Chain A
Amino acid sequence: MLKNLCQKMFGRSLWVYHANSGGCNGCDIEVLNVLTPYYDVERFGIKLVGSPRHADVMLCQGPAMRSTAQALKRAYDAMPAPKLVFAIGSCACGGGIWFDSYSVLGPVEKVVPVNFYIPGCPPRPEAIIYGVAVAVGLVDKKTAPVKFKQIEMPIPRYHPQDLSGRDELVVYEKVEKV
């Protein structure tokens, strides 16, 4: 539903605003790398703008920090109404390595609602393009949560009450798996 809405409203041309709220500048370099001719992202109509008032998409890098949370919130409020937020890098997705520091509040979704997540430290430029392509609807997402459950105990369980003595021989009757 979000994909259809995105396609209808944005006409497949996203103007991105690039907000760093306390990251290490690694993700910034990767985002700028995306805009170079090598990974020419203007093929998809994506353009970097300098003001949040011109933007459709905010690319958030870095965790929400005590000093920058207010500014991030104000930049988000300044964007015009159909807006998306991309969290780029593991700092924006989950708080980063220094998630338990006193100055780090946590992921940016604590401050602004996040629509798309691109984890990685930093994500490859291809990964950023892939996340944008998922948002625009060019490709399908590849990840899904993995769950594994061992149903059977690998070793048969030993019950002492199942031991029975048969003439000079102790026999374990039940060999059952849990």
Chain B
Amino acid sequence: MSVLSKLKEAVICLKAGRVTLPYPAQAQPVPEKFRGRPIFDAAKCTGCGGCANNCPAREILLFDLCQEIRILQYLGRRCAYCGRCADVCPEKAITMSHEFETGTNSIGDIQQRVELFMSTCQRCGRCFKEPSTLEQLKLKGYRVDDVAHERWVFRSKSYLETEPVVDDIKIEMD
């Protein structure tokens, strides 16, 4: 009886065949709705900053060098690939690609940086329609995120203070 059961096991194993994927040599196609790394199309981007205001991980930074040059930087370190930036983009400049092979030895490799010329209205100096009262709390004047230290700066307090509010925790290890 035990020999029979062993034979049965062998038959089951042979029927299954080889299931292991030959992965790094030959990649398998990803599912259709898979969201990978977001790709920023600089030719379509108008620099409205909707993606930066909607990113839950605060990984898209905006920095206005002057009235006309705006830097948009995607850091991607803690990006959860939720796709909210691609949803909110009015020009469809952000696409969630199927790219997932992003393993690197330096975290700066997944950065994307776009420097744009912003053209403003000659009469009023603004680009877009007047924001609502809720949006006015967030969007007044320039965005000055800390590009040098790669951190998102809250508009409310940290702009006025010299000490950064975000990311200021020091670890004390013995």
Selecting from A45-53, A133-141, A163-171, the interface stretch reads: A133-141
Chain B residues closer than 8 Å to A147, beta-carbon distance: 112-113, 115
* A110 touches B (CB below 8 Å): yes
- Total interface residues on B, using CB and 8 Å? 49
Whether A126 and B23, one on each chain, are in contact in the complex, defined by CB atoms closer than 8 angstroms, is yes
* B60 touches A (CB below 8 Å): no
Per a CB cutoff under 8 Å, which of B27, B109, B114, B115 touches A144?
B109
Per a CB cutoff under 8 Å, which of B80, B103, B122, B171 touches A117?
B103
Expressed in whole angstroms, the minimum distance between the Cβ of A149 and any Cβ of chain B is: 4
* A107 touches B (CB below 8 Å): yes
Whether A94 and B111, one on each chain, are in contact in the complex, defined by CB atoms closer than 8 angstroms, is no
- Total interface residues on A, using CB and 8 Å? 62
* A67 touches B (CB below 8 Å): no
Known pairs A121-B79, A153-B117; A105 contacts B171 (CB<8 A): yes
Whether A148 and B23, one on each chain, are in contact in the complex, defined by CB atoms closer than 8 angstroms, is no
Expressed in whole angstroms, the minimum distance between the Cβ of B145 and any Cβ of chain A is: 14
Whether B102 and A95, one on each chain, are in contact in the complex, defined by CB atoms closer than 8 angstroms, is no
Expressed in whole angstroms, the minimum distance between the Cβ of B159 and any Cβ of chain A is: 16
Residues of B in contact with A (beta carbons under 8 Å apart): 19-21, 23-24, 27-28, 30, 40, 42, 56-59, 68, 75-82, 99-117, 119, 122, 166-167, 169, 171, 173
Q: Can you list 7 A-B pairs with a CB-CB distance of less than 8 A?
A: A38-B21, A73-B173, A90-B80, A109-B107, A117-B106, A142-B101, A145-B113
Residues of A in contact with B (beta carbons under 8 Å apart): 2, 37-40, 43, 64, 69-70, 73, 90-91, 93-97, 99-100, 105-107, 109-111, 115-121, 123-124, 126-135, 138-139, 141-150, 152-155, 158, 178
